[in-house]
Chain A
């Protein structure tokens, strides 16, 4: 693998960039793999990468029905943070954040993770109470967080309107949080996994499983049958469809979530700003676009688009909090299908089928977990036993009640 750095860039410039190698191959599927990963999103690719890099398992295929990163990985608003309230969540998201901190170097691919911080706003006494509780829990979990008063918020985010309809009373700031380039995360993992021997097979849709006596024997795809004794399903919005093929149900619903961007402008906003009371979350990308998260639709859908009213209802709050945005223009909007569990926590779990494990339910907020989720899922697949960080996220919690209720804790999580 050509090492990417300024020297290789210059060297290749001198040969007119004619000699760059492909970042990943487009191999034909083999007859059999040790492990098959279904779904070539960030989580699936990360899983394959860690299987190869940490566990030396390289006879692995990632099967993607479209193009890698084309699901929610390439559609999200790229917020990365670990300031979650419940211990179980804090553990996995912080594990992920730590991996993200060194990921560009590890993958030798600039995923542009920049720690410009995430600011959550409080607009009423209830928000402040919640923030105090969450802030204390986060601190006790050893994760960075600070409480900012309105003046400090204004200093950090000069264009914010402190005294709108719902005045800003304070905020919780995580300095190490930030955003990254979503595509690069998928591509970086793909490139490194490929170099370690993983086959990334695009345009290959899984359409069924070969299961005998409750044990998986292989997968049926649009590019033929592939034998394997271990399958990891990482299909986000399509998880329930795939689970259905394997004969089990998932306690989740798939709903559309939308986002939009403005035309690019010169920098006006460094940190990510989120407000539950005013229903805003936005950041500014390196390209200069304001990246604005909208809400979920209330109906179940597998089509990668949402309703217009969700988009139109996000505009007044954005203007309320950032009045200058009124004269900017919206450039583009899009939607993804988010796999939401009732407690808004993921499922990383064994399944009723021996040999099949599933990693899903990340819903509206799993981009930040890409590295951590891939890492613990790889370990679980390799060892056949759930990684300790993954254990609390078993499917069973939806039956036995051991919920990790981030929905109750924070509303919509991104």
Chain B
């Protein structure tokens, strides 16, 4: 296989290493060092895709990140990836890629039908049609959705893994062209810790495109390696290739993504991550990202074979590829002449069409000498060829440049280069909220001022002369090093052979044969198929602001983020409105600078490492005893332990009964535990709980309710006073984190003067809760040093002791109404404790039970579960818990809200019990209490069922509910409607269903 367009020598490719690849089903050969784009061009493949809207054939337009056209579907199966820019995709052996957005093939594409009707579908046409009615739109929308979108997602999980890295440095240099290299070297010499990043596979930037330029008496390409070896000698400078700096946030926080193993090919990364996401905090930033060439907006400028003039040069010098041997270059500035010369040297026939009128450039003589014809004051009015440029048609420009005049001439060619000036890559600067100013002479936005510690150098700063670039970069490098606290050194001095640029001619729209609205298409945003007439239409229809223009025409909204289209669009709108460009405004550049793999941003935090599945120290036992789990917050808790094929209902009935009959044990380790110390701890707790804790005696426990500022119940739990200045607080499992943060916030922002130390100790303790009439008997077998007698160890106190040699704190508190002990041991003894209890409990048929049984047991007693029976809209009074609200305390959080009209009114929703008429009916939780007997439209809703179970100890179903004016409804009947539309009758009762007198608490 021949690589028709490969030059016999030159380029940064390794000709010893051939790589085979497949594109659209055909096999090709390229070289190591190629991108997919350069390899395709070497093989004379120009047609690589179809455009988004009109399905026009498109070719490779650039050689870098700005590429709008050459997006390919890379690989298939799990490694498949849509929308990959061929210009940034390094070739690897056996690479497989396909064109996108075309069917059945890129050559014969059904979607090209849209070209025929393109006249009827200008910008925003969809706002004007497809809307007979709701159904009609939904019908059209299906087709629209199918035709939209670019490539295809695999739909499969990603087999690759990604890494993340957080670094701090003195100086971050973004961009490794000549400017970046000099900046990094000089910053490095100050002793600063420097990171130099470039998105390409090697450093050098523009120097790789123009390797023969003379810098400091050397060829640019040799000068670059010289610089790199100087930099390599500095240990404090890290050079990271294949790494795009993509985000610039406040306080000099930047993000970057490094393509670590992409270039090795799908699945060849070994143990290395596919990409690495960098989070960088830099004291100083130097942006040296260069500038991007602008396309010229002549008719049919999107044909395959039309590319940026500098890209022609890049392909020649960097990849040894001459993309066409008969080239027309059209330009409004000098830079394109260098491309012409390099193309000529590479063996092409070259013609230049310069839109400028009087040209007195030394370049003109130079190219004329070499036999290149230059057509001055002329422009392309048409490009011929379907899948590849065949010829251009050219006419003279009128004096004002608004129209074309004279004879039309055809020039045959197979490649067109275009240049309409340069746009500094100010994206990151603008993300940093740097202000831009408009340079009218050179028609570019350049950096002006920024609050952050950032400098721009070289092309990025609008400095186009190489000597100037290098010297300003050197000075900036030293300055950044110094400002970040390092020593001062003198900046290196540089000299490059420069060329004095002749002024460009700014014709934003290249006129065609007909008035612009009637002419062929002049594209300005290639990927989104937006044309010059779209901008004019937007103007005509009143979409005048830049943002309206963007949104109405979709300019700049494609995956290239308008890198080649924004300035042209802005300029045309300015011209249309008769304003200057800065008067029309700039657009905002939003992160990321270039599109970024979502997996890379997520880093390692996926799969197993997504969010830790928290397990208690006793988990091994639960697992080996067939526990069924339930997720509670980020914990997995044992829900029940089925025996002999029981379902949940059967298991829970058994566990509930067994606990009240003899003894049950539950793993309560997940309960939130917060250690609170300090001389103001009591005072602090008095403010966060509704009741008093400062008066609690050491060794005693108290149940507390926490309210939010609206006076609504927010969390609950038992807190024990360990000693004078030391409390042990417990919270709900789900609320542990929330409460802890809330306490910290209160301490830090409201009462910083208090001496309190708040520490989360949830994971420091394992907790087993013994419940049931036989619990003391079981405990006494394994705990010899605590007197379990009711008088010696009364309810709501705690004791320290040992259990089978394990140091333990035993709390006599109860969430079941039974005689109960909550045993806390250091977490590492949790499993042992559990096993000891099970062993000791054997003779009493001890029953391990899970969260579901706990729910039933507490519901039998009418105890609330915060979050299930409450929803953030209930006061303690609504819950019938007036007793817990201190009347004496001057203040606590939520107190002031009790004075609100709504909070203090009668008839609020109140917490009551429900008994269904049919005692076997278990009401669904969430069912609603309604006013009428049947469900009618807009029926009045009075409340809802919060908890509902079959109670084996009561022998009937029980439910807890919130009902408007519930306390006054006690003894009355209500109707309960379910989501399925059934209505049940039930009576309102007290919330305590079992052991109303509370006798069982002492066994």
Q: Is the CB of B630 within 8 A of A125?
A: yes
Q: How far is the CB of A342 from chain B (nearest CB, A)?
A: 7
Stretch in B332-340, B414-422, B828-836, B938-946 touching the partner: B938-946
Q: How far is the CB of A261 from chain B (nearest CB, A)?
A: 9
Q: Is the CB of B149 within 8 A of A265?
A: yes
A205 at the B interface (CB under 8 A): no
Stretch in B77-85, B346-354, B438-446, B995-1003 touching the partner: B77-85
Q: How far is the CB of B221 from chain A (nearest CB, A)?
A: 32
Q: Is the CB of A403 within 8 A of B873?
A: yes
B128-141 CB mask vs A (1 if < 8 Å, else 0) is 11111110011001
**4 A-B pairs with least C-beta separation:** A408-B872, A132-B926, A288-B149, A401-B900
Mark out the residues of chain B between 600 and 639 whose CB falls within 8 Å of any chain A CB in the assembled complex.
601-603, 605-606, 610-611, 613, 630-632
Residues in chain B near residue A124, CB distance under 8 A: 630-632
Residues in chain B near residue A184, CB distance under 8 A: 127
A: residues with CB less than 8 A from B are 4-6, 8-10, 13, 16-18, 20-26, 66-67, 69-70, 74, 87, 101-102, 104-105, 108-110, 112-115, 123-126, 129-137, 139-142, 147, 158-159, 164-167, 181, 183-184, 187-188, 202, 262-268, 284, 286-288, 307-308, 311-312, 315-320, 323-334, 342, 397, 399-403, 405, 407-409
Q: How far is the CB of B907 from chain A (nearest CB, A)?
A: 13
CA distance A333 to B598 in the complex (A): 12
What are 24 of the A-B contact pairs (CB < 8 Å)?
A26-B542, A105-B133, A109-B128, A110-B127, A110-B130, A115-B138, A129-B925, A136-B979, A137-B928, A139-B981, A181-B127, A263-B83, A265-B151, A266-B150, A287-B149, A316-B602, A318-B602, A319-B602, A326-B606, A327-B158, A327-B598, A330-B592, A330-B595, A399-B900
Q: Is the CB of A20 within 8 A of B153?
A: no
Q: A67-B548, A114-B141 in contact; A23/B941 too (CB < 8 A)?
A: no
CA distance A288 to B542 in the complex (A): 27
Return the contact of B131 from the options A105, A165, A408 (Cβ within 8 A): A105
CA distance A109 to B152 in the complex (A): 31
Q: A105-B133, A124-B630 in contact; A13/B119 too (CB < 8 A)?
A: yes
Residues in chain A near residue B711, CB distance under 8 A: 401
Q: Is the CB of B938 within 8 A of A141?
A: yes
Residues in chain B near residue A126, CB distance under 8 A: 632, 734, 867-868
Q: Which of B152, B158, B935 has the most CB of A within 10 A?
A: B158
B547 at the A interface (CB under 8 A): yes
Q: Is the CB of A400 within 8 A of B613?
A: no
B492 at the A interface (CB under 8 A): no
Stretch in B247-255, B284-292, B382-390, B397-405 touching the partner: B247-255
Q: Is the CB of A142 within 8 A of B127?
A: no
Q: Is the CB of A403 within 8 A of B902?
A: yes
Mark out the residues of chain B between 147 and 191 whose CB falls within 8 Å of any chain A CB in the assembled complex.
148-158, 160
Return the contact of B137 from the options A104, A125, A288, A331 (Cβ within 8 A): A104
* Interface contacts beyond A137-B941, A286-B141, A328-B597: sample of 4 additional A-B pairs, CB < 8 Å, sorted by A: A112-B141, A265-B83, A326-B598, A327-B599
Q: How far is the CB of B960 from chain A (nearest CB, A)?
A: 12
Residues in chain B near residue A332, CB distance under 8 A: 561, 590-592
B126 at the A interface (CB under 8 A): yes
- Give the A-B pair count, Cβ closer than 8 A: 298
Residues in chain A near residue B603, CB distance under 8 A: 312
Q: Which of A124, A141, A324 has the most CB of B within 10 A?
A: A324
Residues in chain A near residue B551, CB distance under 8 A: 74, 183
Q: A102-B134, A131-B926, A328-B598 in contact; A268/B129 too (CB < 8 A)?
A: no
Q: Is the CB of A401 within 8 A of B897?
A: yes
Considering only CB atoms, which chain A residue lies closest to B926 in the complex?
Answer: A132
B233 at the A interface (CB under 8 A): no
Q: Is the CB of A266 within 8 A of B540?
A: no
Q: Is the CB of B710 within 8 A of A265?
A: no
B518 at the A interface (CB under 8 A): yes
Q: How far is the CB of B75 from chain A (nearest CB, A)?
A: 10
Q: How far is the CB of B537 from chain A (nearest CB, A)?
A: 5
Q: A5-B129, A136-B977, A202-B545 in contact; A142/B938 too (CB < 8 A)?
A: yes
Residues in chain B near residue A263, CB distance under 8 A: 82-83, 150, 559, 595
Q: Is the CB of B712 within 8 A of A408?
A: yes
Q: A316-B606, A408-B873 in contact; A136/B152 too (CB < 8 A)?
A: no
B856 at the A interface (CB under 8 A): no
Q: Is the CB of A403 within 8 A of B610?
A: no
Q: Is the CB of A9 within 8 A of B125?
A: yes
CA distance A286 to B255 in the complex (A): 30
Q: How far is the CB of B678 from chain A (nearest CB, A)?
A: 26
Q: Which of B122, B146, B927 has the most CB of A within 10 A?
A: B122
B425 at the A interface (CB under 8 A): no
Q: Which of A20, A308, A320 has the most CB of B within 10 A?
A: A308
Q: A132-B925, A166-B631 in contact; A115/B148 too (CB < 8 A)?
A: no
Q: How far is the CB of A375 from chain B (nearest CB, A)?
A: 18
B924 at the A interface (CB under 8 A): yes
Q: Is the CB of B144 within 8 A of A286?
A: yes
Residues in chain A near residue B545, CB distance under 8 A: 66-67, 70, 202
CA distance A105 to B133 in the complex (A): 7
Residues in chain B near residue A24, CB distance under 8 A: 542
Q: A136-B979, A266-B152 in contact; A403/B710 too (CB < 8 A)?
A: yes
CA distance A179 to B400 in the complex (A): 48
B70 at the A interface (CB under 8 A): no
CA distance A202 to B711 in the complex (A): 44
CA distance A136 to B871 in the complex (A): 16
Return the contact of B138 from the options A21, A114, A158, A264 (Cβ within 8 A): A114
Q: Is the CB of B83 within 8 A of A311?
A: no
Q: How far is the CB of A165 from chain B (nearest CB, A)?
A: 5
B407 at the A interface (CB under 8 A): no
Q: Is the CB of A22 within 8 A of B540?
A: yes
Return the contact of A101 from the options B122, B134, B598, B979 (Cβ within 8 A): B134
Q: How far is the CB of B647 from chain A (nearest CB, A)?
A: 16
CA distance A25 to B446 in the complex (A): 33
B596 at the A interface (CB under 8 A): yes
Residues in chain A near residue B146, CB distance under 8 A: 266-267
Q: Is the CB of B606 within 8 A of A333?
A: no
CA distance A183 to B127 in the complex (A): 10
B723 at the A interface (CB under 8 A): no
Q: Is the CB of B926 within 8 A of A23?
A: no
Q: Is the CB of B871 within 8 A of A324?
A: no
Q: Is the CB of B156 within 8 A of A324?
A: yes
CA distance A266 to B145 in the complex (A): 8
Q: Is the CB of B129 within 8 A of A110?
A: yes
B724-747 CB mask vs A (1 if < 8 Å, else 0) is 000000000010000000000000
Mark out the residues of chain B between 683 and 733 whose CB falls within 8 Å of any chain A CB in the assembled complex.
709-712
B555-572 CB mask vs A (1 if < 8 Å, else 0) is 000010100000000000
B120 at the A interface (CB under 8 A): yes
CA distance A119 to B596 in the complex (A): 28
Return the contact of A265 from the options B82, B542, B927 (Cβ within 8 A): B82
Q: How far is the CB of B157 from chain A (nearest CB, A)?
A: 4
Residues in chain A near residue B533, CB distance under 8 A: 16-17
CA distance A399 to B896 in the complex (A): 11
CA distance A124 to B629 in the complex (A): 11
Residues in chain B near residue A5, CB distance under 8 A: 128-129
Residues in chain A near residue B160, CB distance under 8 A: 326-327
B930 at the A interface (CB under 8 A): yes
Q: Is the CB of B82 within 8 A of A4?
A: no
Q: How far is the CB of B522 from chain A (nearest CB, A)?
A: 14
Residues in chain B near residue A187, CB distance under 8 A: 127
B666 at the A interface (CB under 8 A): no
Considering only CB atoms, which chain B residue lies closest to A329 in the complex?
Answer: B595
Considering only CB atoms, which chain B residue lies closest to A114 in the complex?
Answer: B141
Residues in chain A near residue B900, CB distance under 8 A: 399-401
Residues in chain A near residue B157, CB distance under 8 A: 323-324, 326
B981-995 CB mask vs A (1 if < 8 Å, else 0) is 100000000000000
Return the contact of B517 from the options A9, A16, A325, A409 (Cβ within 8 A): A16
